[in-house]
């Protein structure tokens, strides 16, 4: 230590850190840092600074940047340090630039050459420092400069370099997938690396690739299962253990990958059942990392094709989570329970008291997670209890973002599972009253339509009662001091339509309330507009009923105010109100009939009533209207002749680009066909005309459309748009999306076997009657998802939580694999015990298949049941160099033939297909016209589309 200070830093630097740590205010800290900045500016510009001093100055600059101050004056010195020959100085420079600069900084170009040189260094520490900088600083434009060197480092003898090279390629793929799409096969090769660290790093890019395209990696299921099995059996060295768990982070990543690969695929999922069940049994739940692995197992089980024994094991783990005193474990249990009830809703019933305890927990995060669970398990029998709880919680919080989410969920559940329209209206009133400004305006429109349409049946008395109750509740709510704008719009509309319909309230009462609303919310023009229209409806209904209309003084003053309003909308509504009051009863009844809000209005979109006027104008010399699509010359060919004369009369310059000449194509159309196409070229009034002949190219057998081209031999350049050749897809892709599910019988048996009393480890405490009643309300009744009877006002909406299918159709890969495999007694994959026999598929060496090391005869013989290795392959035996990490030395070494460099570069590796796109320009009007005309002449079906595969959603 001494005068140099600790960690080889000067005493001055240590005093700086100490003074900043002892600062009592932000102002004092800023004063110290600003003094340090001035000192560094002066010292860093001195000539011939020793390397040790410069390294300390750069570290102090990093400290200043971390405190939020600007140290950009020293960036160039950090860049210079990356060029130094000293390893310590170079690594300090790389560390500083990765913290100082971003990928778009102007100084990046100065270190690209240095990175290229360091990637070829003989010192692997220098190479690692350069690869770290590559991951942080290389952008999409500079990827090609370092990509070849990064590819070469995949075969470096040091495992640390290979791992960082994988990370660099992964970063390149995230930045620009197209630049490394041809290198994706290298990730498959590195999955067979001798070092577990390199293999673990390869799982990260493979996870992203599989998430984008699952079907391309189905062949790796056996490989991932084999790796996970050997990791779980502690085949790795002790160096990879974390809290006595064997490589838990590799296990978690593998479980995430298997969840993707097994989703909706029964055949792939069956290969995973055994290893996932082993992890459930052997995993230690006494540590946080063990619980993390168990949680990931539950996520995997909820994603793959359901298995009753795995569901039972997952339910047992969830029970332990919910019984824990730790809020974190309770949170994980609630989240995992929400995943499992998608497959079997009955699983939640055995944990109902635990869910209620979490709902009443003071921890707000746990309470929110519990509301998410209740949202997923809502049905028509418990919707009232759940929505009431959610609204009460929404009222109690101040977070507008989460309040919006809760309000939208309440609205969705009320629309989908409402037991009655009266309850729906009361619920919407509460939501609008407390979160009206946060609700979508469409919700207000749906509420108004519900009140207008009623029950959707022929029961007029029930509809009248519904509207009367709505009017009463709104008149009572108007006494509140402050209401949201959207809610006031609904109130004004309902009072205007049905305020006096039942005779309980007089017109003067309703109009007085509406005037009070317009006066109280004078700054909201939308509310004033709704109130004005409601006043007009009230007075119109009174006039139509031949009752005397007495306008209140406040209504008269409101109308006079609106007549002079700067808002044209409010002014027009006031003039309409004034005009309606002066009409007789018959006219008013025709203009505004009572209870006509649900009647359809016929709209003449063609404006046929103007035909006589248009014909008269054309006879007087007016030009006919040309639609916009025909004005651009894209659709109707017959109008080009009319446009020809029009364009010839306008002597103006045209500024379109020259059209590129087309290659000559021999005509194959009979002369009679050419004469009948009636294709007229775009007129060119300022230049000599050329005659065009149409030709029809041969129609490919796999294409669904014919393309008409022109002969352009000897044609001079002309004004016009550039040629456009649309890229036509020759194949239609169909996709099949499958959803996990289980049969009802399996679900019933699973639930019956999983019944367990809540919190059996704790002393038995008598549960209160209120809590039992709440549990019965939340979890009682039928467990199947139900919906309220469909009415005329509600559109059918899909449930936000989907009950998984009980049967998943087999994919084409499964059918093909079943045909290729001879009939034999399959192993019991549902038995999670130790397997007694290995299946034929496991006799193949998965990593030799991966590397393409087996020829066709070996694969065929293995598939046909030829004898293979008697022992299961061991991928991880090479990983352990110490005897402590090896539990079974007699296991076969799966990678014994893959450790040399010549094997890793075998040509059998599968590569990602490359997609090439031809560049094209804007559309050519004449090409489109010619193609359209020829298609109509020949009767060719321009396109065909395969029907989409069906999707099963069990509500």
Buried-exposed string 283-295: b where 16+ CB fall within 10 A, e elsewhere: beeeeebbbbbbb
- 278 vs 240: CA distance, rounded Å: 20
Which region among 38-47, 495-504, 753-762, 917-926 has the lowest average model confidence (pLDDT)? Answer: 753-762
Is residue 249 situated within a structural domain? Answer: no
pLDDT tens-digit readout, 18-37: 999 999 999 999 999 999 99
pLDDT category, 920, cuts 50, 70, 90?
very low
pLDDT category, 333, cuts 50, 70, 90?
very high
Is residue 924 situated within a structural domain? Answer: no
pLDDT tens-digit readout, 798-822: 334 433 433 444 444 343 344 444 4
Percent of the chain whose pLDDT exceeds 90? 33
Q: Which of 186-190, 500-504, 595-599, 930-934 has the highest mean pLDDT?
A: 186-190
Q: In the prediction, which pLDDT does 898 show? A: 36
Other CB atoms within 10 Å distance of the CB of residue 533: 17
Indicate the DSSP class of residue 668: -
Q: What is the mean pLDDT of residues 637-662?
A: 54
pLDDT exceeds 50 at position 528: yes
In a 3-state reduction of DSSP, which class is residue 727?
A: coil
Q: Which of 303-317, 444-458, 628-642, 936-950 has the highest mean pLDDT?
A: 303-317
| pLDDT top residue among 129 and 506 | 129
pLDDT tens-digit readout, 463-507: 888 888 889 889 888 878 788 889 999 999 999 999 888 788 888
Q: Which residues pair with 242 in a beta bridge?
A: 245
| pLDDT top residue among 450 and 657 | 450
Q: What is the mean pLDDT of residues 281-289?
A: 89
Q: In the prediction, which pLDDT does 860 show? A: 42
Q: In the prediction, which pLDDT does 286 show? A: 87
What domain count does the chain have?
A: 1
| pLDDT top residue among 372 and 918 | 372
Q: In the prediction, which pLDDT does 736 show? A: 42
Is residue 574 situated within a structural domain? Answer: yes
Side-chain half-sphere exposure of 584, counting CA atoms within 13 A: 2
Mean pLDDT of the chain, nearest integer: 74
Question: What's the whole-model pTM score?
Answer: 0.59
pLDDT exceeds 60 at position 238: yes
Q: In the prediction, which pLDDT does 804 show? A: 40
Q: What is the mean pLDDT of residues 845-871?
A: 44
CA 103 to mean position of chain CA atoms: 26
Number of helical (H) and strand (E) elements in the chain, helices listed first: 43, 4
Is residue 513 situated within a structural domain? Answer: yes
Is residue 45 situated within a structural domain? Answer: no
Percent of the chain whose pLDDT exceeds 70? 65
Strands 241-242 and 709-711: unpaired
CA 392 to mean position of chain CA atoms: 30
pLDDT category, 455, cuts 50, 70, 90?
low
Q: Which of 118-127, 439-448, 595-604, 721-730 has the highest mean pLDDT?
A: 118-127
In a 3-state reduction of DSSP, which class is residue 709?
A: strand
Q: What is the mean pLDDT of residues 75-90?
A: 92
Q: In the prediction, which pLDDT does 926 show? A: 60
pLDDT category, 757, cuts 50, 70, 90?
very low
Using alpha carbons, select from 84, 77, 75 the residue that is nearest to residue 105: 75
Tell me if 846 sits within 8 A of 777, measured CB to CB: no
Is residue 511 situated within a structural domain? Answer: yes
Return the residue matching tokens 């892709």: 733
Is residue 498 situated within a structural domain? Answer: yes
Q: What is the mean pLDDT of residues 201-208?
A: 94
Is residue 162 situated within a structural domain? Answer: no
**What is the residue range of 573's domain?**
440-597
Q: In the prediction, which pLDDT does 935 show? A: 53
Indicate the DSSP class of residue 155: G
pLDDT tens-digit readout, 567-594: 999 999 999 998 988 888 888 888 888 7
Q: In the prediction, which pLDDT does 843 show? A: 46
Q: In the prediction, which pLDDT does 634 show? A: 47
pLDDT exceeds 90 at position 222: yes
pLDDT exceeds 60 at position 740: no
């Amino acid at each position: 230590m001494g005068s140099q200070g600790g960690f080889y830093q000067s005493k001055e630097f240590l005093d700086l850190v100490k003074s900043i740590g002892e600062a009592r205010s932000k102002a004092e800290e800023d004063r110290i840092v600003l003094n340090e900045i001035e000192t560094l500016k002066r010292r860093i510009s001195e000539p011939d600074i020793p390397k040790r001093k410069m390294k300390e100055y750069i570290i102090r600059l990093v400290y200043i940047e971390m405190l939020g101050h600007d140290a950009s004056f020293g960036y160039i010195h950090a860049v210079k340090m990356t060029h130094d020959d000293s390893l310590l100085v170079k690594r300090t420079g790389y560390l500083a630039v990765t913290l100082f600069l971003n990928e778009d900084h102007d100084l990046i170009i100065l270190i690209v050459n240095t990175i290229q040189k360091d990637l070829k260094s003989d010192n692997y520490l220098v190479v690692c420092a350069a690869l770290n900088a590559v991951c942080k600083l290389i952008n999409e434009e500079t990827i090609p400069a370092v990509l070849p060197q990064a590819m070469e480092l995949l075969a470096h003898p040091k495992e640390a370099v290979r791992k960082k090279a994988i990370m660099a390629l992964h970063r390149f793929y995230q930045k620009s997938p197209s630049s490394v799409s041809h290198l994706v096969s290298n990730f498959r090769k590195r999955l067979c690396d001798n070092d577990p660290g390199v293999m673990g790093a390869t799982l990260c890019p493979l996870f992203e690739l599989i998430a984008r395209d699952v079907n391309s990696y189905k062949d790796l299921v056996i490989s991932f299962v084999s790796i996970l099995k050997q990791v779980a059996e502690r085949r790795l060295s002790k160096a990879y253990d974390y809290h006595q768990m064997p490589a838990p982070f590799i296990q978690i990543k593998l479980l995430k990958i298997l969840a993707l690969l097994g989703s909706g695929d029964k055949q792939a999922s069956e290969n995973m059942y055994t290893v996932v069940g082993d992890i459930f049994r052997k995993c230690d739940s006494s540590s946080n990392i063990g619980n993390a692995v168990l949680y990931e197992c539950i996520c995997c089980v909820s994603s793959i094709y359901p298995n009753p024994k795995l569901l039972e094991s997952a339910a047992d783990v969830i029970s332990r989570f919910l019984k824990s005193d730790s809020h974190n474990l309770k949170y994980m249990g609630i989240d995992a329970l929400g995943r499992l009830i998608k497959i079997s809703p009955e699983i939640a019933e055995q944990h109902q008291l635990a869910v209620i305890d979490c709902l009443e927990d003071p921890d707000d995060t746990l309470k929110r997670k519990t509301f998410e669970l209740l949202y997923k398990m809502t049905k028509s029998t418990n919707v009232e209890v759940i929505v009431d709880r959610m609204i009460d919680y929404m009222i109690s919080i101040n977070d507008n973002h989460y309040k919006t989410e809760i309000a939208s969920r309440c609205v969705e559940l009320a629309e989908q599972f409402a037991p009655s329209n009266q309850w729906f209206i009361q619920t919407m009133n509460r939501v609008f009253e407390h979160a009206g400004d946060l609700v979508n305006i469409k919700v207000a429109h749906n509420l108004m339509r519900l009140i207008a349409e009623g029950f959707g049946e022929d029961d007029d008395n029930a509809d009248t009662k519904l509207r009367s109750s709505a009017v009463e509740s709104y008149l009572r709510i108007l006494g509140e001091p402050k209401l949201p704008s959207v809610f006031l719009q609904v109130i004004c509309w309902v009072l205007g339509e049905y305020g006096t319909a039942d005779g309980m309230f007089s017109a003067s009462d309703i109009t007085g309330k509406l005037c009070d609303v317009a006066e109280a919310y004078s700054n909201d023009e939308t509310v004033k507009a709704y109130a004005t229209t409601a006043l007009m409806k009230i007075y119109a209904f009174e006039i139509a009923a031949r009752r005397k209309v007495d306008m209140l003084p406040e209504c008269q003053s409101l109308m006079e105010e609106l007549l002079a309003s700067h808002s044209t909308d409010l002014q027009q509504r006031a003039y309409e109100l004034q005009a309606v009051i002066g009409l007789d009863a018959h006219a008013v009844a025709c203009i505004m009939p009572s209870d006509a809000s649900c009647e359809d209005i016929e709209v003449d979109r063609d404006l046929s009533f103007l035909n006589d006027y248009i014909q008269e104008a054309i006879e007087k010399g007016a030009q006919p209207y040309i639609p916009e699509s025909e004005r651009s010359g894209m659709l109707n060919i017959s109008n080009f002749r009319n446009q020809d004369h029009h364009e010839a009369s306008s002597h103006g310059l045209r500024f379109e680009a020259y059209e590129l000449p087309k290659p000559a194509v021999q005509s194959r159309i009979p002369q009679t066909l050419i004469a009948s196409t009636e294709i007229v070229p775009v007129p060119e009034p300022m230049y000599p005309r050329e005659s065009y002949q149409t030709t029809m190219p041969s129609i490919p057998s796999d294409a669904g459309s014919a393309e008409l081209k022109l002969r352009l031999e000897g044609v001079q350049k002309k004004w016009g748009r550039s040629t456009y050749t649309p890229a036509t897809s020759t194949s239609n892709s169909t996709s099949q999306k499958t959803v996990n599910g289980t049969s009802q019988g399996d679900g019933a048996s699973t639930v019956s076997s999983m019944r367990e009393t809540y919190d059996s480890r704790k002393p038995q405490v008598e549960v209160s009657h209120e809590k039992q009643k709440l549990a019965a309300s939340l979890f009682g009744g039928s467990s199947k998802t139900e919906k309220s009877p469909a009415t005329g006002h509600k559109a059918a909406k899909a449930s936000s939580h989907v009950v998984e299918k009980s049967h998943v159709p087999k994919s084409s890969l499964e059918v093909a694999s079943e045909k290729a495999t001879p009939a034999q007694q399959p192993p019991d994959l549902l038995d999670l015990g130790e397997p007694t026999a290995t299946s034929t598929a496991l006799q193949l060496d998965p990593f030799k298949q991966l590397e393409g090391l087996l020829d066709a005869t070996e694969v065929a013989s293995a598939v046909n049941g030829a004898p293979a290795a008697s022992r299961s392959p061991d991928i991880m035996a090479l990983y352990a160099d110490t005897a402590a990490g090896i539990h079974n030395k007699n296991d076969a070494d799966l990678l014994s033939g893959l450790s040399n460099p010549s094997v890793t570069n075998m040509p059998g590796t599968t590569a990602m297909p490359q997609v090439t796109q031809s560049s094209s320009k804007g559309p050519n009007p004449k090409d489109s016209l010619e193609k359209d005309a020829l298609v109509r002449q020949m009767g060719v079906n321009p396109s065909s589309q395969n029907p989409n595969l069906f999707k099963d959603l069990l509500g």
